[in-house]
Each structure stands twice: as C-alpha cells, then as structure tokens.
Amino acid sequence: MTFSRRKIQKKEAAFKYMDYRVIIIGCGPAGIFTALTLAENGIDGVILFDQGNDLEKRERGAVRDVLCGWGGAGAFSDGKLNISTEVGGYLSEFLDKNALIELLHSTDGIFVKYGAPNRVFGDSAVSVEEIADQARLADLEFIPTVIRHIGTENCKRILNNMRKALDGKVEVRTCSQVQSLLHEEGKIRGVKLTGGQVINSDYVVAAPGRVGASWMKGEADALGLTTMTSPVDIGVRVELPATILKKITDITYEPKLIFYSKTFDDKVRTFCMNPYGEVVIEENEGITTVNGHSYAKRRSDNSNFAILVSSTFTEPFRDPIAYGRYIARLANLLGGGAIIQRLGDLLAGRRSTRDRIEHCLTRPTLLQATPGDLSFVFPYRHLQSIIEMLQALDKLAPGVFSRHTLLYGVEVKFYSNRIEVSSEMETRVKNLFAIGDGAGITRGLLQASASGVLAAQAISSRITGIRPDK
Ligand SMILES: Cc1cc2nc3c(=O)[nH]c(=O)nc-3n(C[C@H](O)[C@H](O)[C@H](O)COP(=O)(O)OP(=O)(O)OC[C@H]3O[C@@H](n4cnc5c(N)ncnc54)[C@H](O)[C@@H]3O)c2cc1C
C-alpha cells in the first residue's frame, strides 16, 4: 500500500503542525516500521525517541543494550519471522484472516528488502502435514507456521540498512527517554522527556516494548485507559543433540507444539526453537533467566527450545508478572543465577553436579549455569506439566526424554498488560496509538512490525486525507 506523493504535496501546502507531526516512542521493530511506513508515504515532521543507544554503540554484553536502543529487543534476537496469524501476537483480533496474512506478507517483504535471507521454512504442505499427523499420535497439536530465519548476526546489518534508509527523512534521538505523555481534552498533544523538555506533536505512537511495559501501564492508568492482564509463561530451556530434532527442524525450523498436561490440563507449549543454536543468559530488571538463539552460519551440535506452562490467574490475584519474577528469583537464590540439570537427575530426585554435567552426553552450550535441582524451584504443577510434555515430545522425536537431555531454569515470558486499542491501533485518547509488545498487542518481531505499519497507515490517511492505494 502506498500513497500518491503528488496528492500528498497538494494537501500539505494547507497544513501546519506543531514541533513535530508524529512522535514515535521506541526504536524497536514496531517503532522502526512506523517510521519506515510514514517516510514511504511522504509524511514529514517525524521524530523517533529511544532511551537506549544507537545501533553501533550497542554491546551484547551490556545489560541495558540487550533490550534498548535502535532495533529494540530485536537487535540481538534470533530473527525468526513467524509469518503466521496464530503466532506472535493478537493482530488476528483486529483484522480478518486474509487482511492479516496480506499485511504479514508485505511486512515480511520489507525485511527482505532490507536484507533478510530469501529462504523460508515450513512452506512444504506435504511434509508439514506429515509432522502434524505424527504430532496428533503423540497427543500434541502442531501449529503450522512459515518461518524466515534472519539469524542473530544478520539482524544488526538489516537494522543498520533501515536506519540508513531513514537518514534525512526522519529524526532519530537515542539516549532520550520519554517520561510522560501529554494530553488535552481527550487528545494527545506531545510528550515530556526525562529532564523536563516538552515536545509537542499532533500524533504520538507509543512502542516501548516489553522493557517499557511498566512505564506504558503507568501512563495508561494516568490517562484512564482500559488495560487487561496477560498470562505468565514459566518453564525451562531444553537442550539436546540437534540430530534428535533434525527431521522436524529441517522442514519447519521451529515447530510450534501444544500439549494439555494430563495431570493439570494446563496448556504447555514449545517456544523459540533454535536448531544448532546456543543457550544464553538474559538479565531482566535484576533477575537472571535463560533464553536461546542461533546464528545463520555458526553452528553448535545442539538444538534448544523452551517448554512453557501458561498460568492465568483469577480474582483476587492480578499480578502474574510478580509471580513469574518470584519463581525466577528462587532459581537465582539457589543457583546464584541460572540452574542446569540433567533430565536423568531430575527424574532420579537428585541434583546435578559439575561432575555429572561433565559426563553428560549432551555438551552444554551455556557454561555460566550452576548445576542444581530444578525441583526446588518449580511448583509441582509446573514440573509435572514439563515432564509430561517431554514424554509426549519423545513419541514425536525419540531421544527427547533421554536422561542426557539438559534442562536450564528458569525461562519466563512476561507479557505486557494489554491496552485497549481500535483496529487502527489508536487508544481512546485521540491520536495516541499504542503498538508492539509494550502495548500487549504483539509478542514477536513480525507482528510488532506489522502493528507499526497499521498505525502509520492510519496516521498517513488522516494527515493526507487520502486512503492508501491498494
Ligand atoms: C533474546 C531475544 C530473542 C528474541 N527472538 C525472537 C525471534 O526470533 N522472533 C521473534 O518474533 N521475536 C523474538 N523476540 C521478541 C522480539 O524481539 C520482540 O517481540 C520485538 O522486539 C518487539 O518489538 P517492539 O518494537 O514492540 O519492542 P522492543 O523491540 O522491545 O523495542 C522497544 C524500544 O522502546 C524503547 N523504550 C521503552 N520505553 C521508552 C521510553 N519511555 N522512552 C524512550 N524509549 C523507550 C526501548 O529502549 C526499546 O528500544 C526475541 C526477544 C529477545 C529478548
């Protein structure tokens, strides 16, 4: 969808705006795709703010740099683009299936334009159907998704290309934190930066990501916007020899599998599979958790993935994030950080030790985890569900339930409170848009980026008075 530039220029002659037309908060994928789309539509007077560093200054080892700055949480991510209406967010609640598929494909096309590899996984209907059949026999539901894998080392190059494309079209201010949103009579009028500077604008797009979720919730409460709590997903990162999952990962790259645990009927799912990847430590507001990623070219001998158990709480408890953090903190208390345990030790009711890990047939890719006992960390409900899921997976891929399978704990996925928005991503405050993971609308790179495209198209239409050409 593009706007005709000639028509825009005609309209703009009669238009006057304040300091800026559009302020975008957050330079993650959601904010960047908002800016790219506005620039593509010929909209000027756009500024992006991010509290973190510009791309070339971001260092993987620095806690703050991992999630903040140009590229947001996407900068050091694995770069798996899930071209699926079912995965990575809730945009399917705003668009019908065909419109969403079209949006996801065109957003994915922008990643390719800026350098994402051409190859996709999971597009062979016959092989995917075979996996789905085998999964059914193992009591698992297989969610087919087409995936483009960018790879950690390529993310930076693509983000840099996007940054360059915006040079001279959009102003970018890094190391600038937005402290609050300013509004007047139900309409947004700009932002106040930490330090006190006030910047006026006609539109504000808030895309603060997971890292800015508490800030977003505070601003939403101050503006009287409706928010809903999200579930918390708690589990382990599983690591095993890549050969065990090779048949499946060669076809799908990342199989999305869902299981309902026998004992508790809890929803358990696989998440973020990294064939030939590495397990990594993640620091999140003072707690240490685990994650995984893989490079496009550099390969380990192992694959890793998370098994997550979803917990939704009802009255009176409304703080799933605090619950997740509490469990992660318990692992940190016992292990001084993340804990590693062989499945065989867990099942035998004993801790793993350095010695036991050393003669484990799966060689760990993460060396900073402390050998310990995850049964001291997880509630029975979670541990039982994880074990049952591993047993089901073993039927699909024999070898998963081996005593040499490694479990790292804990992996926690906190999701932001969801802010009520329209199908254009506008909140009840006029001209204030809330998008991406920070608004609880999305949970992944592609849908976060697509939510930015949606907001930018709505703003472009209002500024120019022209609906986008199909
Ligand atoms: C290690 C890791 C691996 C991942 N791998 C994948 C993957 O393979 N595939 C996938 O789909 N997803 C993956 N994700 C998730 C993905 O990165 C996010 O879904 C996506 O980045 C969300 O985009 P966003 O723009 O909404 O937010 P973010 O990318 O989090 O960006 C938000 C930005 O806003 C800034 N900000 C926040 N508050 C303020 C403020 N008040 N003022 C100024 N700036 C502010 C932050 O500094 C940040 O730069 C991964 C995440 C991590 C952490």
Distance 467 CA to ligand 1 centre (A): 30
User: Is the shortest distance between the CB of 29 and ligand 1 below 6 Å?
Assistant: yes
The answer to whether 246 touches 327, Cβ cutoff 8 Å, is no
| CA distance linking residue 456 with residue 466, whole number of Å | 13
Q: Are residues 436 and 301 in the same domain?
A: no
**pLDDT band of 468, cuts 50, 70, 90:** low
Mean of pLDDT over the chain:
92
pLDDT digits over 246-288, tens only? 999 999 998 999 999 999 999 999 999 999 999 999 887 789 9
pLDDT at 300: 96
Q: Are residues 236 and 380 in the same domain?
A: yes
Q: Would you call the peptide bond into 398 cis, given omega within 30 degrees of 0 as the criterion? A: no
The answer to whether 307 touches 390, Cβ cutoff 8 Å, is yes
Q: Are residues 223 and 172 in the same domain?
A: yes
pLDDT at 205: 98
Q: Is 76 among the domain residues?
A: yes
Q: Is 336 among the domain residues?
A: yes
Counting the structural domains of the chain, the total is: 2
| Least confident among 7-21, 175-189, 321-335 | 7-21
User: Which of 397, 413, 429 lies at the terminal end of a domain, its last residue?
Assistant: 413
Q: Is 215 among the domain residues?
A: yes
The answer to whether 356 touches 345, Cβ cutoff 8 Å, is yes
| CA distance linking residue 431 with residue 93, whole number of Å | 21
Q: Are residues 212 and 342 in the same domain?
A: no
Q: Are residues 47 and 160 in the same domain?
A: yes
Closest protein CA for atom 3 of ligand 1:
77
Q: Are residues 81 and 215 in the same domain?
A: yes
User: Is the shortest distance between the CB of 266 and ligand 1 below 6 Å?
Assistant: no
Q: Is the pLDDT of residue 71 over 70?
A: yes
* Domain extent for 434: 5-122+146-228+417-464
Tell which atom from ligand 1 comes closest to the C-alpha of 452: 25
- 169 backbone dihedrals φ, ψ, rounded to 5°: -110, -35
Q: Is the pLDDT of residue 15 over 60?
A: no
> Residue 118: which CATH number?
3.50.50.60
Q: Is 128 among the domain residues?
A: no
Q: Is the pLDDT of residue 9 over 60?
A: no
pLDDT digits over 362-394, tens only? 999 999 999 999 999 999 999 999 999 999 999
Q: Is the pLDDT of residue 131 over 90?
A: yes
Q: Is the pLDDT of residue 14 over 60?
A: no
| CA distance linking residue 325 with residue 457, whole number of Å | 37
Mutational pocket test of ligand 1: of 437, 442, 451, the residue with most ligand atoms within 8 Å of the beta carbon: 437
pLDDT at 12: 46
Q: What mean pLDDT is predicted for residues 280-300?
A: 87
Q: Are residues 401 and 347 in the same domain?
A: yes
Q: Is the pLDDT of residue 16 over 90?
A: no
Higher pLDDT, 59 or 446: 446
pLDDT at 1: 46
**pLDDT band of 46, cuts 50, 70, 90:** very high
Q: Is the pLDDT of residue 4 over 70?
A: no
Closest protein CA for atom 47 of ligand 1:
68
pLDDT digits over 176-224, tens only? 999 999 999 999 999 999 999 999 999 999 999 988 988 999 999 999 9
Residues 6+ apart with CB under 8 A from 392: 138, 139, 140, 259
| Two structure tokens written together for 189 | 């009028």
The answer to whether 289 touches 338, Cβ cutoff 8 Å, is yes
Q: Are residues 207 and 299 in the same domain?
A: no
Q: Is the pLDDT of residue 354 over 80?
A: yes
pLDDT at 10: 46
Q: Are residues 330 and 458 in the same domain?
A: no
| CA distance linking residue 159 with residue 36, whole number of Å | 12
- Which 3 state secondary structure label does DSSP give 87? coil
User: Is the shortest distance between the CB of 49 and ligand 1 below 6 Å?
Assistant: yes
Higher pLDDT, 66 or 176: 176
Distance 232 CA to ligand 1 centre (A): 17
Q: Is 131 among the domain residues?
A: no
Closest protein CA for atom 12 of ligand 1:
444
The answer to whether 33 touches 437, Cβ cutoff 8 Å, is no
The answer to whether 48 touches 170, Cβ cutoff 8 Å, is yes
Mutational pocket test of ligand 1: of 23, 60, 78, the residue with most ligand atoms within 8 Å of the beta carbon: 78
Distance 2 CA to ligand 1 centre (A): 26
| Two structure tokens written together for 208 | 């603060």
pTM for the predicted model, two decimal places: 0.86
Tell which atom from ligand 1 comes closest to the C-alpha of 69: 49
Q: Are residues 381 and 421 in the same domain?
A: no
pLDDT at 232: 85
Q: Is 392 among the domain residues?
A: yes
Q: Are residues 262 and 352 in the same domain?
A: yes
Q: Is 129 among the domain residues?
A: no
The answer to whether 63 touches 428, Cβ cutoff 8 Å, is no
pLDDT at 461: 97
pLDDT at 296: 74
Q: Is 35 among the domain residues?
A: yes
Residue type, 391: Q
Q: Are residues 376 and 430 in the same domain?
A: no
Q: What mean pLDDT is predicted for residues 37-54?
A: 97
